[in-house]
Structure 1
Amino acid sequence: MTNYELVTTGFRELTKALVPFVITQLQNQYQGQWWNNGVIGSLAPEQQTGLPVGGTKEQMEKSLDLARCLYIIDRQWGMVFRQKLSREHKSWVTELINTRNDWAHKGMEDMDEGDAYRALDTMARLVESIDGEAYESIRKCANLVRYKTEGPSVEAPVKLAQQLEIPLNKVGLKPWRSVIAPHPDVQKGVYRKAEFAADLSQVARGIATAEYQDPKEFFARTYITSGIKELLLQAARRVTSGNGEPVIQLKTAFGGGKTHSLLALYHMMKNSAKAESLPGVKALLDSEKIGALPKTRVVTLVGTHLDPSKARRPDGLPGVQVYTLWGELAAQLAEQSNNPKLYEMVREADKKGVAPGSKVLTDLLDAASPCLILMDEIVAYARKIYGRNDLPCGSYGSVMSFMQELTEAVKASKRSLVVASIPESETEAGGDDGWRALQEISKVFGRMEYIWKPVGPEEGFSIVRRRLFMPVTDELAVEETCVAFSRMYNESSGDYPIESKELTYQARMKDCYPIHPEVFDRLYNDWTTLEKFQKTRGVLRFMATVVFNLWQGGDLGVLIMPGSIPLGQGQTKEEIVNYLPSGWDAIVDADIDGNRSQAYGIDAGNARYGQLMAARRCARAIFLGSAPSSKGQPNRGIEDSRIRLGVMQPGEQVSVYNDVLGRLEAKLTYLYSAGSRYWLDSAPNLRRTMEDRAAQVKPEAVEMEIEKRVANFGEKGMFAGIHTIPRSSADIPDELSARLVILSPLHKYSRGTGTSTAEEVAKDYLNNRGQSLRIYKNMLMFLAPDFGNSAHLEQEVRKYLAWLSIDIDKDSLNLDAGQQKEVASGLKTSSENVDLRIKETYIWLLVPTQEGTEPIRLEAYDLPADKESPIRKAQNVIRSNELLISQWAPALLRMKLDEPLWKDKDHIGIDELWKMMCQYCYLPRLRDREVLMNAIRAGMSSDEYFAYAEGYSNGRYMGLRIKQSYPDIIPSGLLVKPQIAIPVLEADKKPSSEEPSTSSLGVQGGQGASKTEREALSEQEEQSKGKRFYASFNLDPIRMNRDAGSIFENVVSLLAEIKDARIEVSINIHAVLPRGIDSGLERTIKENGRTLGVRDLGIEDID
């Protein structure tokens, strides 16, 4: 059968059990209105489709299906079903509602094995206290899914565990597998089918597994605790001499060994003739000088097996029908004594469902003496009949009366005793009715019983060792191992808990071998606090799974330690996470163990860790020591000293594990820490919350944060302005001053890759200012982010913004004081990292450069990636490479003047010179106009460089002077070639009788004027005549923007400087479109033309 078919079978059996149970409970609560109030009133309108309005009980019963039953239990929980079921039943019902919905929509597609087993296991748990037969049927389906066989005692092929990675033992100690071997069923995995669930009724019926059914096998695997020893001796005394306790109550938590203790009594007394052949029993009896045990009748009353609604027909009593507990007691005694008359003593009381009285019971017991009455799960039986008066088993009150009468009768009898198992917890009692029954039964037995608890806390490890392992084959190896561990613990000052240094701890290691005591301490101290984790049975099941996987995987560890537990193996993980809330399976896979876990990745990435599996071993130890903890605990988690205790083996370096703990703390999603304590939680830690939020931060938010921080880089320094991440070229003024443009983090520079968007954007800013051409290109420089480092910056900004959002939401996230401190620390560290990343990212200075008439290019200078402000680093590079001159020598100025600036001129205006230097990138880039003025002042002290004139008019230089130490110069003045200025100034010094003398203010034209003066006068006269200029250019339509700018710069702008000039520039566009034009595009062109003020625009057909 497929998994889907097995689940379908399970749902069918569950429905058969739930329908009568639901109807019965609703009838008890609502009487004749049970259908309207209990069924119709619980279901939504769409769920009522097909339900009859009324009819017979059979008709109504047939109309109820599984989904309706589950919804009714869920919605009538408080009023009806909490009386009969526990809180866990409520959660199982909720889970099955979802499971049933998924199953119904799956069609015939097969189910995942894990999901199918979980569904059937939950069904079995739900129905166990409701219908024993349905429980058995569903459990068989679950076994088929998990083990591919129905029965718990049939060996099936077991998938061998995956070969484990094995850290090598470095000090020559023998691995545990060479010293002690598991029992064959543990080696093969057959134990998993029995699940260590002792069942007294199965043993009494002869259908239990061999380790429970066979008396010798049972005692061979049973560690006789002090409690079991006292129990067996009390029973032996009672049946031999009548001196032992007549009433014994076994009281411990679920899975604590109550049923196992009853089985020990059963086998010893049932096989009294050969009791001395049972392992350990002869020595036990000899210790009290108890001789041979008499033949003893053993009665088993198991509440989960007995059906209070049906009569039983004993095979050995033809014609007899048994209805009640007292009838069952008498019938079993009659069958074992081969004396039907014993049943006749209670026949009438059994038939009427009335307790027979203590006198009748005393006579019955003495007539069958000696006898042992074992009562198991009796609270479950009482819970079934609570509030019912229509069952053949008698009323709840009659059963309570029988309990009291039985204890009195046993006490009055000669050689009989009763031993009853009583649960401790409300959960095991099951619902309000079960809890009331538990209280009353405890009160009845409490009047005269001997209360006994089967397993002492220090005996658990002996039980596990005896049940899982065969005897040790090399005691010397055990001794050497324990001594080596003890020496390691004592040689360290504070790496391990203080108790590990004591000799008593060394003795514990020997008693627990091959399992490290820390494993038992964590299981018994931490895991048994979980309601579902059974104290003895839970430890057995889990450790059997661990041992099986380690044995099959070839583990060579010296001991089985918390760090050895292979949680990456599906069987081990499945066994342990089943006790935890949903979601832990994924946590183990993500963080702790398995090839995709973070811990595995840490080991794989570092040989020092990997050879010891250090990360996985520590993660496993943290899981075992912290997974059962809850948020409300004051000291949550496991100390680092206990982590080391759970992973370190002799010969290893403790520093490796100390280091890897820090790596785990940084990488694991579900790991928390406070001081020296570590714990795992089902909720992602704040680091994971931060990472999730960081992934959701929008790029615009990242850019805004970077822009805000870049704006705070520092003072402008040598620049007239710093423009931080402009949105377009229009945001950058076109002025006669040096400016640094900091590009957006979106525009990155990468030298030589051809993928630099920074260059493209910088060239756009350099050539344009909005819709106009930029004139003063030589005044811009650009600071760009590095392509490679930008990703790190953006990621760090995302982290910072994520921490910031967590800090804002800390109240709604309900963060405790420790978490708020973590947020504050994360926010501070991340903010500092952002600042550092910005400085590491903005490391490219792009400077416009031009050689002669070559195109302008951007020269890239890389800045050091240190902690200094990028602006300061840029200024240092600018100074060292003289990219922006703050002090200029007059000789260098004269060299530039001798180049194209005044090549064909006698003078040049200072304003004109400054504008040219700001405009053309082949000229030196000066910080500001004052640098030029200072160079001119310095040059005026000599007659080698240039002269200065305040103006030039009518062929005369006004205020012409040269070689003055402190000249008074202004930007509107002129620089004059020395070879022009000196003759003029010398001529001014020679007076002439025929001509008026010239002053220093200028030179007047005339006969006495020099040749140069005469040429100037002639040129002035020529200029006074009116002129008309015209020109026609053919422009490349593709490069029109560039060519038009060049025409403006080289022609129109020069004409505009002429006084009273009237300039008209027209653009004529003529286009031939042989394929026509799209109507939409035609409309767009016309609308754009009208908007631009076109005078004449038309589109016409070609003839």
Structure 2
Amino acid sequence: MAMRPWREIAVPHEDVLKGTFQQAEFAADITQVHDGLATPEYQDAVLFFQRTYITEGMRLLLDSVVRRLAGKGGDPVIQLQTAFGGGKTHTMLAVLHLAQAKSASELAGIPAILDKAGVLTLPKARVAVLDGTKLAPNQPRKVDGHVIRTLWGELAWQLGGAAAYARLAESDAAGTSPGKEVLTGLIRDAAPCVILLDEMVAYIRQFDDNNALSGGTFGSNLSFIQALTEAMKAVPNAVLLASLPESHREVGDQRGVAALEALEHYFGRVQAVWKPVATDEAFEIVRRRLFAEIKDQPAADAVCRAFADHYVTHAAELPGETQDGQYLDRMRAAYPIHPEVFERLYKDWSSLPNFQRTRGVLKLMAKVIHRLWQSDNKDLLLMPGSLPLSDGTVRADVTTYLPAGWDPVLERDVDGDRSEPADIEQREPRFGALQACRRAARTIFLGSAPTGTNEVARGLETERVILGCLQPGQAPHVYKDALGRLETRLTFLNTANGRWWLDVRPNLRREMEERKRRFDEPDVIEAIRLALTRVMGPSAIEHVHLFTPAGDIPDDWGLRLVVLPPAAAWSRSGPNAARDAATAILRMRGEQPRQKQNRLLFLAAEADQVMHLKDTARALLAWRSIEADIKDLRLNLDALQSRQAEQNRAQANDTVHRLVREAFKCLIAPTQAPKPSGELGDIEWEIFPLNPAAPGLGKEVDRVVAENELVIREWAPIHLGNMLKRWFWKDGVVDIPALDAWQKTCQYLYFPRLAGSSVMQAAIAAGAVSRDFFGLAYGKDDEGYRGFSFGHSTSPILDASLLLIEPKHAATYEEKTRPAPVAASTLAGGPVTDTPPTAAGTGTSATPPLPSSPQARQLTRYFASVELDPIKASVQFSKIVSELVELFTSTPGTRVNIRVDVEAEDSRGFGEGIVRAAKENGKTLGMKSSDFE
């Protein structure tokens, strides 16, 4: 069964639906109720208790009041002291209605309290209300010809009219407190009675010790309070309730602080039963005031159960408290409002100076519900991510409690059709389908706007952001991705240590975005090149060229990987810049045609990845410049922002390296195949994808090259023989220089791409022992091949003299050059005969062993001498060793001797220092003869 949204299950009160509620309606005024002038929901006792959730604290207090009025115990004086908006006035109203009720049994929740107290019928009591905000210390009130000046005069008039007032009229006129006995008699005569003192601090703080007012003095009023609390103890069926603010910030100036401290002292000797409203109890208080009914409780329970099950499924992505069975009970108690809304409002927003815990929540949520109802909101619950912060009335309400500067934050970075989150959702449908970016931004605002800049751990954890957005059927990773996108786009969003918060100060990302414009294309390309250098790592390909111009890529026998710049990216559709750039490099080296085309492989980026890579590289450069300015004190930031700059730079660096791997994954190999007619076809470009997750890009290139045989590192002689037959031994050609065959494989794309000349040399050595592939010779003249070998093991040297001979021709040549048989007698010194002798006892001819074929004289010694430039001697000698000496040392058994002669002349004569240094250095270097003359 499909779950139904909150609007189909919960019915708001009519004033909430119509938007006719007023801020004053949420501020219960005890004087208006006492005077009969309040709105029905506060004035009518039955309606009041229907909308009132009796919390544990209120139940205990009403129990004490019932017992006291019935003369069965209870506390004579109860002090109510909670935070701003903690429910003090609402509780006093409950006592007022209970005391004046004609029938307490008609009041919701009261019969159970009466039963527990053992009271069958509660007597109707007189009620006196002393409201410190209504009474004025220096403005006497005239009633029926009497002038009432003080609190005690007001108390007497409300409890007993003119007769009661007459008992302390003199004290009222003089502004001096009546004694405890007078007050005791007054209260006893009025009992059962209830005295409600509200906003006493606001009244008493107005008195100044230096000026006497008609309402008395600071001291006389405190004396009255002390006497009143003592008098209440003497009357068993009278009760006093007094509300006091919890903190000094609610009392105003120093006079108010002094008044509060004095009142706390007098009331502190009385044990109060008041217990503040718990957050979970506030769920029910708000729900009863805002919603008339839950018309389908099973459907509501099904929604709560679906949320709880979804939270268990994604436990790793959410706060641990959601896995507790009690969280389901909290959702049921708060329905249709998500508990996380209450958590943020009661824990975070109630810390603001002007935000009243219950009244502020009611006022805000009434506007939220009205706006969402009008916009046909379909959320299953009212969540932090549901708050319509784009609405002007809702926005005005929340910004009232915040410092200046939050309006542009909400408009740009949180909510609204022109906000950045809305723009992201419009561009990326997977976010837009869930309003993922706006829901995440709203949740972050609700949880971070009231927090101070000096808090150790600012903002919301990622898990709690997801909790404020996620509904059954949705995947948490969508909101995680949305957070990542918001991080890169928003101006006022900050993140650190897995926490997110909004601030009125632009974040460092805005500074970074401005600095990104400073870096031109060459700077960005160089940053990508450096990252690619680190990502590439070692490779079996000897030469790797990163973004190297065609004219600077050598045209020699070395194997080379050419990494094309980002502008030359591979595109799977439309113009292909990578293919065009590779073709240009393959054909020309600068102004000269490129000869060794088969020595090149190419690596290019995917065109779709280039823009993101370049933008991230530009961001990396910006973060580096910010970090450098911080270190050089050119940018003044706090410690947190400095850490953020460092973290963002490191993150951008890691991201660039990751994007480089993801972008540069197109390995390109040029090939050219012959047509059936024998002509060569056009150059073709084969693409081989690389794995971006491989440990090193260079090693991944090696793997793909090996698996696809793009480079041959071990070559069987049969493949060499086939190549020679197809391309070289034809049209009467029966032998070719091996070096020419190697060089042709480097030049033409239809040949295999060998890793190096050693691969061909190894193939020749392996095939030399067989008579199936080729014969070998070291030169050729009019007399035939020199150093001919066919079917014999050898260690060939790949140079210009080595010839590869077609095997049939080699066999023919071998047969042709085999010497004629020689008679045995001739071998022994006898005459030569035409017929060879017959072997003894067999009558068959015996063939003597053939002598070896005549060989050309072998060269056995090489010698050379050269004069070196004393300035360039080290370079020239290194070249001699690499190109000449190593040629001989590579052949086992060759003895190589090198002698170095050093001769220096100076007609002026050498200085003593040079002579001494030359002798010492010559001895150290092992020179056989080192001296001067």
Tell me by how many angstroms 1:198 deviates. 1.4
Among residues 132, 139, 144, which one is paired with 1:302 in the alignment?
A: 132
Among residues 645, 655, 661, which one is paired with 2:476 in the alignment?
A: 661
Partner SS state of residue 202, structure 2: helix
Give 1:314's aligned residue: 141
Tell me by how many angstroms 1:364 deviates. 6.5
Among residues 100, 119, 123, which one is paired with 1:288 in the alignment?
A: 119
Among residues 230, 244, 249, which one is paired with 2:79 in the alignment?
A: 249
Aligned partners of 2:60 and 2:788: how far apart in 1? 127
Partner SS state of residue 662, structure 1: helix
CA contact (8 A) 1:486 1:501 kept: no
Aligned partners of 1:554 and 1:640: how far apart in 2? 26
Tell me by how many angstroms 1:444 deviates. 1.1
One-letter code of the match for 2:483? L
Q: CA separation of 1:916/1:343 partners in 2, compared to 1, >3 Å: closer, same or farther?
A: same
One-letter code of the match for 1:862? I
Aligned partners of 1:302 and 1:976: how far apart in 2? 117
Report whether the alignment pairs 1:870 with 2:689: no
Aligned partners of 1:400 and 1:519: how far apart in 2? 44
Aligned partners of 2:371 and 2:33: how far apart in 1? 29
One-letter code of the match for 1:741? V
Q: CA separation of 1:574/1:637 partners in 2, compared to 1, >3 Å: closer, same or farther?
A: farther
Tell me by how many angstroms 1:749 deviates. 3.7
Aligned partners of 2:754 and 2:302: how far apart in 1? 82
Tell me by how many angstroms 1:234 deviates. 6.2
Report whether the alignment pairs 1:258 with 2:83: no
CA contact (8 A) 1:211 1:218 kept: yes
CA contact (8 A) 2:566 2:610 kept: no
Tell me by how many angstroms 1:509 deviates. 8.1
Report whether the alignment pairs 1:841 with 2:662: no
Aligned partners of 1:454 and 1:927: how far apart in 2? 83
Q: CA offsets, 1:432-466, max 9 Å, x none?
A: 65444322211112335755347577754554344
Among residues 788, 791, 797, which one is paired with 2:610 in the alignment?
A: 791
Q: CA offsets, 1:468-500, max 9 Å, x none?
A: 34467x6xx536865997799799999897997
Tell me by how many angstroms 1:727 deviates. 3.7
CA contact (8 A) 1:314 1:321 kept: yes
Q: CA separation of 1:737/1:887 partners in 2, compared to 1, >3 Å: closer, same or farther?
A: farther
Tell me by how many angstroms 1:221 deviates. 3.3
Report whether the alignment pairs 1:221 with 2:51: yes
Give 1:400's aligned residue: 222
CA contact (8 A) 2:528 2:656 kept: no
Give 1:186's aligned residue: 16
Give 1:170's aligned residue: 2
Tell me by how many angstroms 1:881 deviates. 10
Q: CA separation of 1:387/1:439 partners in 2, compared to 1, >3 Å: closer, same or farther?
A: same
Tell me by how many angstroms 1:422 deviates. 1.4
TM-score for the superposition, normalised by structure 2: 0.60
CA contact (8 A) 1:566 1:593 kept: no
Q: CA offsets, 1:336-381, max 9 Å, x none?
A: 548885674235423xxx5455456557667877765432122233
Q: CA separation of 1:899/1:343 partners in 2, compared to 1, >3 Å: closer, same or farther?
A: farther
Aligned partners of 1:538 and 1:830: how far apart in 2? 44
Q: CA offsets, 1:947-969, max 9 Å, x none?
A: 989599xxx89987988777988
Partner SS state of residue 704, structure 1: helix
Give 1:681's aligned residue: 500
What are structure 1's unaligned runs of at least 5 residues? 1-168, 649-653, 673-677, 990-998, 1003-1103
CA contact (8 A) 1:743 1:758 kept: no
Q: CA offsets, 1:713-753, max 9 Å, x none?
A: 4113xxxx413215434543343444443333443244774
Among residues 478, 484, 488, which one is paired with 2:297 in the alignment?
A: 478
Tell me by how many angstroms 1:312 deviates. 1.7
One-letter code of the match for 1:257? G
CA contact (8 A) 1:625 1:638 kept: no
Aligned partners of 2:59 and 2:789: how far apart in 1? 124
CA contact (8 A) 1:357 1:405 kept: yes
CA contact (8 A) 1:883 1:925 kept: no
Q: CA separation of 1:183/1:945 partners in 2, compared to 1, >3 Å: closer, same or farther?
A: closer
Aligned partners of 1:849 and 1:883: how far apart in 2? 22
- 1:439-838 pair list within 5 angstroms: 439-448=261-270, 450-453=272-275, 460-470=282-292, 477-478=296-297, 482=301, 512=333, 515=336, 518=339, 522=343, 526=347, 530=351, 534-545=356-367, 547-549=369-371, 551-552=373-374, 560=381, 562=383, 566=387, 570=391, 656=473, 660-669=475-484, 681-682=500-501, 699-700=524-525, 702-709=527-534, 711-716=536-541, 721-725=542-546, 727-729=548-550, 731-750=552-571, 753-756=574-577, 759-760=580-581, 763=584, 766-768=587-589, 773=592, 776-778=595-597, 780-788=599-607, 790-791=609-610, 794=613, 833=658, 837=662
Aligned partners of 1:280 and 1:227: how far apart in 2? 16
Q: CA separation of 1:564/1:290 partners in 2, compared to 1, >3 Å: closer, same or farther?
A: farther
Aligned partners of 2:91 and 2:451: how far apart in 1? 31
Quote the sequence identity (%): 27
Partner SS state of residue 669, structure 2: strand
Tell me by how many angstroms 1:426 deviates. 3.8
Aligned partners of 1:282 and 1:963: how far apart in 2? 119
Partner SS state of residue 723, structure 1: strand
CA contact (8 A) 1:255 1:538 kept: yes
CA contact (8 A) 2:248 2:257 kept: yes
Tell me by how many angstroms 1:299 deviates. 3.8
- 1:915-954 pair list within 5 angstroms: none
Partner SS state of residue 84, structure 2: coil
Q: CA separation of 1:180/1:545 partners in 2, compared to 1, >3 Å: closer, same or farther?
A: same
- 1:329-340 pair list within 5 angstroms: 329=155, 337=162
TM-score for the superposition, normalised by structure 1: 0.53
CA contact (8 A) 1:890 1:935 kept: no
Partner SS state of residue 747, structure 1: coil
One-letter code of the match for 1:843? L
One-letter code of the match for 1:452? W
Aligned partners of 2:146 and 2:211: how far apart in 1? 26
One-letter code of the match for 2:588? N
Tell me by how many angstroms 1:680 deviates. 6.1
More displaced stretch, 483-492 vs 228-237: 483-492
Q: CA separation of 1:975/1:569 partners in 2, compared to 1, >3 Å: closer, same or farther?
A: closer
Aligned partners of 2:310 and 2:197: how far apart in 1? 54
Report whether the alignment pairs 1:424 with 2:246: yes
Tell me by how many angstroms 1:785 deviates. 0.3
Aligned partners of 2:550 and 2:279: how far apart in 1? 80
Q: CA offsets, 1:166-200, max 9 Å, x none?
A: xxx527xx877677643321222223533511123
One-letter code of the match for 2:2? K
Report whether the alignment pairs 1:380 with 2:202: yes
Aligned partners of 1:775 and 1:345: how far apart in 2? 120
One-letter code of the match for 2:704? K
